[in-house]
Amino acid sequence: MSGKGLTLYVNDTPIEFLSLGQWLIERDSYNHIKELNFFKKFKKWKFMRMWKKTIKHQARMKAKNALEEKLFILQPHFSEHLFQHRVYMLTMEKKRFVDTCVQGETRTIEEFGQAQYERTKAITEEVQRFSDKSRENIRTCINMVLNELRIRIQSEIELDAVKKKSNPIQNQNTITMKKKAQNSIADKLGFPDGMTYGHRSSLRKECSRFLRFAYLVDFLSL
């Protein structure tokens, strides 16, 4: 700033010049505008708007996570096997124990009863076969989800072991955790030793999801 005006320099090179009179006019205009209610309340308004936006975003993410948690149709393994289970149920629904469409010659009551008995027996065996297929389908779904969780936990445990070897000082300061009991549910499911609380929490979460999935499957079956 000089007696003639204001000069803006960038890298020691003048790029803009504003005369002193024009600078005084703009300064007075700025001070006048700054006294308007809109600009006085702009900072509070902006903070409030950003706060509302953040709250809405958090509520939206919470609803999204809840939907992803509960809607099995959005989850890869669950949706695939759920569709297959639905196909089995619709196919079984079309089966009829009584066949009233008698073709050919007229039958006696005894012949009709024998034919219906044989059909009922065949349909019963077919329904039992579809039931076994649907159970195997759900069992495959659960095994696939558990297998992915098992691989993830195993990789995290191996990564933690590598970090402990590379940082012996931190390893010395680490409090040793009590080893879990043998023959636990995690052992029977094939999960590795050394699972942390977070790993067990993930397993419990998946098991509770299996329970809800079983309720849905049972509902579709009925």
Question: How does pLDDT run across 59-106, given as a tens digit for each residue?
Answer: 999 988 888 777 888 888 898 999 999 999 998 888 887 776 656 667
Whether 172 shows a pLDDT value over 70: the answer reads no
Mean pLDDT of the 167-172 span: 61
Report how far residue 113's alpha carbon sits from residue 152's, in angstroms, rounded to the nearest whole number.
Answer: 59
Which letter does DSSP use for residue 35 in this model?
T
Report how far residue 92's alpha carbon sits from residue 221's, in angstroms, rounded to the nearest whole number.
Answer: 10
For residue 187, CA distances in Å to 182, 200, 206 come to 7, 12, 16
Instruction: Kindly report the backbone phi and psi dihedral angles of residue 67, in degrees, each rounded to the nearest multiple of 5, phi listed first.
Output: -65, -45
pLDDT tens-digit readout, 189-222: 888 887 888 888 888 888 888 999 999 999 988 8
Domain positions in the chain are: 5-60, 71-221
> Who has greater pLDDT, 42 or 68?
42
> Who has greater pLDDT, 184 or 109?
109
Map 158-213 to HEC letters. HHHHHHHHHCHHHHHHCCCCCCCCCCCHHHHCCCCCCCCHHHHHHHHHHHHHHHHH
> 184 and 172 in contact (C-beta within 8 Å)?
no
Strands (DSSP E) contained in the chain are: 5-10, 13-19
Report how far residue 161's alpha carbon sits from residue 189's, in angstroms, rounded to the nearest whole number.
Answer: 22
Report how far residue 102's alpha carbon sits from residue 108's, in angstroms, rounded to the nearest whole number.
Answer: 11
> What band does 169 get if pLDDT is binned at 50, 70 and 90?
low
Q: Which of 208, 77, 222, 86 is nearest to 139 (CA)?
A: 77
Query: According to the model, what pLDDT value does residue 4 have?
Result: 82
Q: Which amino acid is at 157?
A: I
Paired tokens of 150: 């098992």
